[in-house]
Amino acid sequence: MKAKNAQELLRAEELTITFGGLTAADHVSFHVASGEIMGLIGPNGAGKTTLLNLISGIYQCDSGKVYLDGRDVTKVPSHNRARMGLGRTFQTPRFLHRSSIRDNLMLGTDLGSQIGFFKSFMGKQNLEFEQEVEELMEYAGFAIDWHSDINALPFGQRKRLEIVRSLLAHPKVLLVDEPAAGLNTKELQYAENLLRYAVSKGIGVVLIEHQMDLVMNVCDRIIVLNFGKLIAEGTPKEIASNPAVIEAYLGRKSHAQN
C-alpha cells in the first residue's frame, strides 16, 4: 500500500486524442505514486486501453503531457519509455512464439540497463536472475519448466507470466491491462499476489480491470472513465457508491445524447 508522502512516479496532464470524430481521451489527468495501485475502470469502449497506449507511447496524444518519474516523456518513443522504467502488459499476452519460456522471460530483464539480457546469456547473472524468477513464480503460483515452448502454457498462465516478465524488468511504473480476464478464482489470487509483490517493491501500478472484486480488493484509488472523460476519482468505497459511476455502468447514454 502507498506510504504517506510516497513519491509521484507517473503524471498524466490533460491527455487528449481523437480518432476521426471520436474523442477517446478527453483532457484526462491523474497521477500514480510509488507503491500505489490505481484502478482505471469504465464501461467497454470508455477509453481505458487508449489511455494506457498514450502513457506508454504507442499512441501520440493530440495534446497533453506525460511525466515519468518527473521527466516529460510526452515525445519519447515507447521503447525508450520502457527503458526509462515504464512496464506494460496487454489484454492478450504478447510473447515471442516458437521460443522457450526462459528466453521469453530473459527478454524482460533489466531493460533499464540494457545489459541484463546479454549478461544472462553469458551466464554472469544466472543465479540472481533465476532466484528472482523462482520467487516471482511462487507468487504467480506455478512451477516453471524453463525449456518448454511458450505456446504450451495455458492462457491463464501466460497472462501471469507476462506480469512476471514485466516485473523482471524492474519497472518504476507498471501498466496492467485486464490481468484477471479468463482467470479462475485460484488464478485470480495469484494475479493479486503479483500485484501486491509489485507494490512491495515500490512500483506504481495502473490497473485496468473489469473484475470488480479484484479492483475493490487491491486498489488504493480508482479513476473512472466514460466516453473518454474522467468522471470520478476516489477510494474503492467512494467509487462504489458514486452516482455518476453507477449511471455510467447501468444507464449508458450515447454520444449523441451528451
Ligand X SMILES: Nc1ncnc2c1ncn2[C@@H]1O[C@H](COP(=O)(O)OP(=O)(O)OP(=O)(O)O)[C@@H](O)[C@H]1O
Contact residues toward ligand X (CB under 6 A) are 19, 22, 24, 42, 44-50
Residue 143 has which C-alpha cell?
A: 512451477
Bridge partners for 83 per DSSP: none
Smallest separation (angstroms) from ligand X to the CB of 51: 7
Q: Which is nearer to ligand X, 1 or 22 (CB)?
A: 22
Q: Which is nearer to ligand X, 15 or 199 (CB)?
A: 15
Smallest separation (angstroms) from ligand X to the CB of 195: 19
Q: Which is nearer to ligand X, 35 or 228 (CB)?
A: 228
Smallest separation (angstroms) from ligand X to the CB of 166: 19
Which amino acid, one-letter code, is at 15?
L
How, if at all, do strands 37-41 and 221-226 pair?
parallel
Q: Which is nearer to ligand X, 46 or 198 (CB)?
A: 46
Smallest separation (angstroms) from ligand X to the CB of 206: 12
Q: Which is nearer to ligand X, 169 or 191 (CB)?
A: 191
Nearest to 115 by CA among 129, 102, 101: 129
CA distance 199 to 217: 14
Residue 78: φ, ψ to 5°: -60, -40
Smallest separation (angstroms) from ligand X to the CB of 138: 30
Q: Which is nearer to ligand X, 50 or 125 (CB)?
A: 50
Cα–chain-centroid distance for residue 231?
Answer: 21
Smallest separation (angstroms) from ligand X to the CB of 45: 4
The DSSP code for 103 is: H
3-state secondary structure 101-147: HHHHHHCCCCCCCCCHHHHHHCCCCHHHHHHHHHHHHHHHCCCCCCC
Q: Which is nearer to ligand X, 45 or 141 (CB)?
A: 45
Smallest separation (angstroms) from ligand X to the CB of 247: 17
The sheet that has 221-226: what strands, in order across it? 86-89, 173-177, 204-208, 37-41, 221-226, 229-234
Q: Are 235 and 218 in contact (CB under 8 A)?
A: no
In terms of residues, how long is the chain?
258
With the C-alpha atoms ordered 169, 171, 177, 183, is the resulting torsion angle positive or negative? positive
Residue 99 has which C-alpha cell?
A: 521460443
